[in-house]
Structure 1
Amino acid sequence: MTLSPTPRSTIKRGKKRAVTERSALHEVLDAGLVCHLAVVVDGAPVVLPTGYGRDGDTLYLHGSTGARTLREAEGGVPVSVAVTLLDGIVYARSLFNHSMNYRCAVVHGTAVPVLDPETKTHALKVLTEHLSPGSWDYARQPTARELAATAVLALDLTEASVKIRSGPPGDDDEDVAESTAWAGVLPIRTSYGEPEPCPRLTGDTALPEHVSGRR
């Protein structure tokens, strides 16, 4: 399936970097861990970093019920969500052509509050398993009080765009011929470090496989 651009989601700058396959949208969202939710509060834009999880073509967001931005987003106003993955710094022969290699997804729409208890629990499982796979069945389940204190929003992925840049710098021919400056890509890779146990753990608490396996 392909994306169906709308006036809001049509990429105008850098059109050659636009990717229209819906699978590319899913791949970017699945690879990221933090999204940025944009919403207008009191007439001014606010951008909130938050956790998320994807289930099919639905993006789930969550936060405290006391968060003003989430309360505004629940009110049926337009919102936008962005996820960006930085893959490398692109060094060119000219400063003008310096760039970044990246994968970026932007979603537009109206977020819907998830109120049904069963659906809300499912959404929180999706969120948990996206950030920390294996944790939902390992740690204590949310209590009724914790569920009541947590706001969950669902955002349809119908209106979205994807941009990807990869490869070497796009230097001008004259710079390639005349410049002696080094040019290329400095890759950026995200990796997990050694797990750091909580100081309040008891001595016989083993490191679970779903944590150790991510190293």
Structure 2
Amino acid sequence: MSRKTKRTTPSRMANQRAHYSDENIYEILDEALFCTISYAEDNQPFSIPQSFVRIDNYIYLHASVGSHFVRKLTDGRPVCITVMLADELVVAKTAFHHSVNYRSVVIFAKGEEINDIEKKYEAFKVLTEKMVPGSWDYLKPMSQSEVNKTTAIRFSLDEASAKIRRGAPSHEEDEMDLPIWTGLIPIKPLRHQPLPDEHGAKIPLPDHLKY
């Protein structure tokens, strides 16, 4: 199935910035920690930020089994999921040409609840390792009760597209000689030194948390 549909085709600069390959879509999803899930209920729009992880051609989310949000995502309704990584502020000679270098993914799908215990457990493990690499085997093992209290939902990436902007600012011909600085301001997020709470302060920082 082709990912390129009417819904996944950008209205502007589709030929230059739209991408549909596994390589482009997976790379962005694997780097991003959070997504936004949008859906409609009684003609009212809702958007929920959520952590997620990609496994093969699906992304997986988790939530409490008692969550109102979960019930909406597993009843077969269509949702739109978005991810954006902002890499650089693009500073031009005019405010009109200021921009952002970014990588984004838009997904259209329906949620599928995962009831297989082994698949749920694996999804939680991969998500935990994405958020805090090297932590799964260090932590107290997840109990069966905890697995049962958590819902895992997956969404297919069959209808998805990436949109990417890279490069320098744009300029008009009559702006080229203006004495105004132009260039890029990197804004990528960084993991900083972990800050312990009152319990963590009593325990040496484990190697997997030393950035």
Give the shorter-chain TM-score range: over 0.9
Q: Distance in 2 between matches of 1:185 and 1:176?
A: 17
Structure 1 pair 44/139, CA: closer, same or farther in 2 (3 Å)? same
Residue 207 of structure 2 is aligned with which of 202, 206, 209? 209
Checking the alignment, whether the CA contact within 8 Å between 1:3 and 1:160 is kept in structure 2 is: no
1:37 matched residue in structure 2: 37
| Secondary structure of the structure 1 residue equivalent to 2:141 | coil
Post-superposition offset of 1:14: 2.2
TM-score normalised to the size of structure 1? 0.91
1:44-63 equivalences in 2 (<5 Å): 44-63=44-63
Give, as a single letter, the amino acid of the residue that structure 2 aligns with 1:119: K
Instruction: Give yes or no for contact 2:20–2:160 (8 Å, CA) kept in 1.
Output: no
Equivalent runs, 1:156-171 vs 2, <5 Å: 156-171=156-171
Q: Deviations over 1:46-88 (max 9, x none)?
A: 1111111111111101122233222101101101111111111
Q: Distance in 1 between matches of 2:154 and 2:128?
A: 15
**Rounded Cα–Cα distance in structure 2 between residues aligned with 1:37 and 1:209:** 34
Equivalent position SS for 1:120: helix
Q: Which moved more, 1:83-92 or 1:59-68?
A: 59-68
Which residue matches 2:108? 108
Quote how far apart the aligned CAs of 1:143 are: 2.2
Provide the C-alpha distance between the structure 1 equivalents of 2:2 and 2:87, rounded to a whole number of angstroms. Answer: 23
Q: Find out whether 1:19 has 2:19 as its counterpart.
A: yes
Shift of 1:4: 2.7
For 1:20-70, what per-residue CA distance to the aligned partner results, in whole angstroms no more than 9, with x for missing partners? 322011110011111111121232111111111111111101122233222
* CA offset digits 1:123-174 (Å, max 9, x no partner): 1112111111122211112223322321211111111110111111111112
- Cα distance in 2 for partners of 1:60, 1:183 equals 40
- State the distance in 1 between where 2:128 and 2:84 align: 20
Specify the code of the residue in structure 2 equivalent to 1:87.
D
Query: TM-score normalised to the size of structure 2?
Result: 0.93
**Aligned partner of 1:14: which letter?**
M
1:94 alignment partner in structure 2: 94
In the TM superposition, 1:104-183 aligns within 5 A as 104-177=104-177, 179-183=178-182
Q: Give the gaps of 5 or more residues in structure 2.
A: none
Measure how far apart 1:194 and its partner are: 1.2
* C-alpha contact 2:61 2:152 (8 A) present in aligned 1: yes
Percentage of matched positions with identical amino acids: 34
Question: Residue 52 of structure 2: SS of its match in structure 1?
Answer: strand
1:75 maps to a residue whose letter is D
Instruction: Report the AA paired with residue 11 of structure 1.
Output: P
- Alignment: residue pair count: 210
Tell me the distance in 2 between the aligned counterparts of 1:3 and 1:164.
19
In the alignment, is the contact (CA less than 8 A) between 1:125 and 1:136 conserved in 2?
A: yes
What amino acid sits opposite 1:67 in the alignment? Answer: S
**Contact 1:3 1:21 (C-alpha < 8 Å) held by counterparts:** no
Counterpart mapping for 1:71-90 below 5 A: 71-90=71-90
The residue type equivalent to 1:18 in the other structure is: A
Q: Calculate the aligned-residue CA RMSD, in Å.
A: 1.7
Alignment of 1:186-205 (within 5 A): 186-201=185-200, 203=202, 205=203
Q: Does 1:185 align with 2:184?
A: yes
Distance 1:19 1:202, change over 3 A: closer
